[in-house]
Amino acid sequence: MIKVNDNFCKLPAGYLFSEVARRIEAYRKAHPDAAIIRMGIGDVTCPICQAAVDAMHRAADDQLSEFTFHGYGPEQGYAFLREKISEYDYKKRGINIGIDEIFISDGAKSDTGNIGDILSPDCKVAVTDPVYPVYVDTNVMSGRAGELCDNKWSRIEYLPCTAENNFVPALPVGNPDVIYLCYPNNPTGTTLNRKQLAEWVEYAIGHNALIMFDSAYEAYITDDDVPHSIYEIPGAEKVAIEFRSYSKTAGFTGLRCGYTVVPKSLKGVDSNGAEVSLNSLWNRRQCTKFNGASYIVQRAAEALYTPKGQKQVRETIDYYMRNACVLREGLTEAGLTVFGGVNAPYIWIKTPGDMSSWDFFDLLLAESNVAGTPGSGFGPSGEGYFRLTAFGRYENTVEAVERIKKLKF
């Protein structure tokens, strides 16, 4: 029989969201009349904005004519979209990112998962804890994580983010080569301000570490002091790769489009000690393994940068942030301690008393018919916490809060 990659076998079965879905389904079967409100999986509920849909119609029509038809596109993405990103997402914030430093992708999950292809299997990794599971699992798959004991991988440094440290991770002590940071954060909904992020950049510069900065939720930032891009911090272009996504910005979870910035000034070293450009390696990786995001979807993404697109995207984000506000205020009134939801679409609840994350999940499902995500599924420091998302319909969000208030914590 064929030999398999042992690293995959190390991954514990039962991906978090499958277990959440399994429990909801079991409850639904036992209580067929229950009107369950799902606020667990981070998918969006608002439709794609008109500007993007109009652009897709036009792009679909392009495919009808031999003169405007688009087949394989550039692996790095079309210049029309990369130019908009460079101009609107960076230049307007005073950041100089050239279009050859921008790689269009089919979403941030693929790129945050695949980026490890260009790094040595020996690299030591640090993650904030709790964490978006993709960073950890993909490092397990590529053999960087060591062994799983007590819910932790032996070669990964976990940086706890809890109420005790105000969800600001302490700098690493184990000299990691790679550090994953996600701000605004999934799952805690918290952020780092400019000064706090600058400490990480300074650390990375001083310790030759590479920061993987996932800013999939930057569109939700409301505070002026929270950076939208790590490149707002001087020197970050020498130590950080940034991942962005149109999924939560513009509801592209089904369309699939995002991008990754790999600055040309980012350098690594090969086993002979020779300096290597990470931008060149990622370009090589993409040209070999990726054939580009679809033309139609890239046209939709381009339309988000038009005045109409910008206004429509803003309206949707405001819609979700109104939900976040309802959740924060309502759950606080219900007697719960809540975090996040100001610069991010996630609400991070401290479970009451000593209740475990899964016990709180079962309680909310049974007593309020509200489904969320147990914090422990995001890492050891997520135990005792619970995540609700603001991506639901407004009416459902209000209803969920009313139901939870009846529980009186």
Indicate which single residue of 214, 237, 242, 383 sits in contact with ligand PLP (rule: CB under 6 A). Answer: 214
Minimum distance, C-beta of residue 163 to ligand PLP, in the bound complex (Å): 20
| 302 lies in the site for ligand PLP, by CB under 6 A | no
**170 and 203 Cβ atoms separated by less than 8 Å:** no
Instruction: Tell me which residue of 264, 182, 194 sits closest to 232, measured CA to CA.
Output: 194
State the distance between the two ends of the chain, measured CA to CA, in whole angstroms: 56
- Distance from C-alpha of 1 to C-alpha of 395, rounded to nearest angstrom: 54
**344 and 94 Cβ atoms separated by less than 8 Å:** no
For residues 178 and 334, which CB has a smaller minimum distance to ligand PLP in the complex? 178
Residue nearest to ligand PLP (CB): 107
Indicate which single residue of 118, 136, 216, 233 sits in contact with ligand PLP (rule: CB under 6 A). Answer: 216
Interacting residues with ligand PLP between 154 and 213 (CB under 6 A): 182, 186
| 294 lies in the site for ligand PLP, by CB under 6 A | no
For residues 330 and 378, which CB has a smaller minimum distance to ligand PLP in the complex? 378
55 phi, psi to nearest 5 deg: -65, -35
For residues 388 and 404, which CB has a smaller minimum distance to ligand PLP in the complex? 388
CA distances from 373 to 184, 236, 259, 270, 282 (A): 18, 33, 27, 41, 34
| 108 lies in the site for ligand PLP, by CB under 6 A | yes
- Residues in contact with ligand PLP, counted by CB under 6 A, come to a total of 14
* Interface characters, 23-62, with ligand PLP (x: CB under 6 A): -------------------x--------------------
- Distance from C-alpha of 137 to C-alpha of 159, rounded to nearest angstrom: 16
Interacting residues with ligand PLP between 240 and 269 (CB under 6 A): 245, 247, 253, 258
Cα four-point dihedral sign 217, 218, 219, 223: positive
Cα four-point dihedral sign 93, 239, 115, 176: negative
| 107 lies in the site for ligand PLP, by CB under 6 A | yes
- Distance from C-alpha of 404 to C-alpha of 336, rounded to nearest angstrom: 10
Token representation of residue 385 = 């916490």
| 320 lies in the site for ligand PLP, by CB under 6 A | no
Minimum distance, C-beta of residue 20 to ligand PLP, in the bound complex (Å): 14
| 343 lies in the site for ligand PLP, by CB under 6 A | no
Which residues contact ligand PLP by CB under 6 A? 42, 107-109, 112, 132, 182, 186, 214, 216, 245, 247, 253, 258
